[in-house]
Amino acid sequence: MRSFLFADPHDISRAAMLAYLKLLLSLRSVRSLTGGLQRLPEALAAGLHVRLGHHAVEVAPHRRGDGAHPPYRVQVVSPEGTYTIGADAVVCATTATAAARILTPLPDRTKDTLAGVRYASAAVLNCTLDRRIASPSRWVLNMARQASAVAIMRIIPGGAQGRGDGLTLWSPGGTVGAELCDLADDQVLGRMTQGAAAAGPGFELGRHVTAFRVDRWTEALPQFPVGHLRRLHELHTQLPAGLALAGDYLAGQNLEAAITSGIRAADRVTTQLAQRHTTPRSWNETRATP
Ligand SMILES: Cc1cc2nc3c(=O)[nH]c(=O)nc-3n(C[C@H](O)[C@H](O)[C@H](O)COP(=O)(O)OP(=O)(O)OC[C@H]3O[C@@H](n4cnc5c(N)ncnc54)[C@H](O)[C@@H]3O)c2cc1C
pLDDT digits (tens, 9 = 90+) for 70-81: 889 999 999 999
For the segment 156-202, what is each residue's pLDDT rounded down to a tens digit?
Answer: 998 777 689 999 999 988 889 999 999 999 999 999 999 999 888 88
| pLDDT value at 289 more than 70 | no
CA 24 to CA 68: how far, in whole Å? 51
- The predicted pLDDT at position 281 comes to 46
Ligand 1 probe mutation, 95, 121, 138, 169, most atoms within 8 A of CB: 95
What pLDDT, on a 0 to 100 scale, did the predictor assign at position 283?
47
Mean pLDDT (whole number) for 34-49: 87
Cβ-based neighbours of 169, under 8 Å, separated by 6 or more: 124, 125, 126, 127, 150, 152, 153, 192, 195, 196
Confidence of residue 212 (pLDDT cuts 50, 70, 90): very high
Nearest residue CA, atom 20 of ligand 1? 255
Higher pLDDT, 97 or 9: 97
pLDDT tens digits, 90-139: 999 999 999 999 999 899 999 999 999 999 999 999 999 999 998 888 88
How far is it, in rounded angstroms, from Cα 159 to Cα 119?
37
Is the model's pLDDT at 217 over the cut of 80? yes
User: Per-residue confidence at 16, pLDDT binned at 50, 70, 90?
Assistant: confident
Residue in 33, 94, 215 to alter for ligand 1 test, most ligand atoms within 8 A of Cβ: 94
| Residue with the larger pLDDT of the pair 2 and 282 | 2
Fold of the domain spanning 39-117+224-285: FAD/NAD(P)-binding domain (3.50.50)
For the segment 3-28, the average pLDDT, to the nearest whole number, is: 76
- For all residues of the chain together, what is the average pLDDT? 87
- 254 Cβ inside 6 Å of ligand 1: yes
Q: How far is the CA of 222 from the centre of ligand 1 (A)?
A: 10
* Closest atom, ligand 1, to C-alpha of 54: 43
Return residue ranges of the chain for CATH 3.90.660.10.
2-31+119-222
**Does 259 sit in the ligand 1 pocket, CB within 6 Å?**
no
Ligand 1 pocket, mutate which of 6, 78, 221, 260 (most atoms under 8 A from CB)? 221
Which residues lie closer than 8 Å to 246 by C-beta, 6 or more apart? 91, 92, 93, 258, 261, 262, 264, 265
User: Could you tell me if the CB of 122 is within 6 A of ligand 1?
Assistant: yes
pLDDT above 80 for 65: no
Q: What is the pLDDT of residue 11?
A: 77
**Hey, which residues does 221 pair with through a beta bridge?**
120
Residues 282 and 62: their CA atoms lie apart, in Å, by 14
Which atom of ligand 1 is closest in space to residue 32's alpha carbon?
8
Q: Return the half-sphere exposure (C-beta side, CA atoms, 13 A cut-off) of residue 128.
A: 8
Query: Of 6-10, 134-138, 276-280, where does the model show the most confidence?
Result: 134-138
Confidence of residue 282 (pLDDT cuts 50, 70, 90): very low
Please tell me the distance from the alpha carbon of residue 223 to that of residue 270, in angstroms, as a whole number: 29
151: left (phi over 0), alpha (psi -120 to 50) or beta: alpha
Q: 126 near 165, Cβ under 8 Å?
A: no
2-31+119-222 folds as Polyamine Oxidase; Chain A, domain 2 (3.90.660)
Instruction: Give the pLDDT confidence score for residue 278 in this predicted structure.
Output: 67
284 — pLDDT class (breaks 50, 70, 90):
very low
Each residue's pLDDT tens digit, 129-155? 999 998 888 888 888 777 789 999 999
What is the distance in A from the centroid of ligand 1 to the CA of 65? 34
Distance 48 CA to ligand 1 centre (A): 19
Instruction: Calculate what percentage of the chain has a pLDDT beyond 70.
Output: 91
pLDDT tens, position by position, 253-263? 888 899 999 99
95 CA distance to ligand 1 middle (Å): 8
- Delimit the CATH 3.50.50.60 region(s) of the chain: 39-117+224-285
Q: What pLDDT does residue 287 have? A: 38
Residue whose Cα lies nearest atom 34 of ligand 1: it is: 94
